[in-house]
Amino acid sequence: MIHPQQPMFDTLLRFSQHVQVIDECWYWDGEPSADGSYRMNVPKNGGGRTTMTPKRYSYLFMRGHLTGTDQIRTTCGHRNCVNPGHLERF
């Protein structure tokens, strides 16, 4: 039997495999999708799956709640950084 939290662990593992930590920043090195954006496939709380940017995933997983209209930006000046400590919502 698959543990209910297994999809969350799998997603966190996939996330960590695409992060290069250099100094304070966590650089995302995943492949962009066809439109040039970076997307992750993530399990939803109530079941099913959704896609979101690695920045959004990092913020949600490690910092907390976001509303649908919240956007995420980096505060360190590195566009591909996904360090949750370098992300803010706006």
Residues in touch with Zn ion (CB under 5 A): 25, 76, 78, 81, 83, 86
Closest approach of Cβ 5 to Zn ion, in Å?
28
Q: Between 19 and 81, name the residue whose CB sits nearer to Zn ion.
A: 81
Residue 79, C-beta contacts closer than 8 angstroms, at least 6 positions apart: none
Smallest distance from the beta carbon of 69 to Zn ion, in angstroms? 24
At 66, list the tokens: 């976001």
The minimum distance between CB 76 and Zn ion, in angstroms, equals 3
Contact assessment for residue 76 and residue 83, using Cβ atoms and an 8 Å cutoff: yes
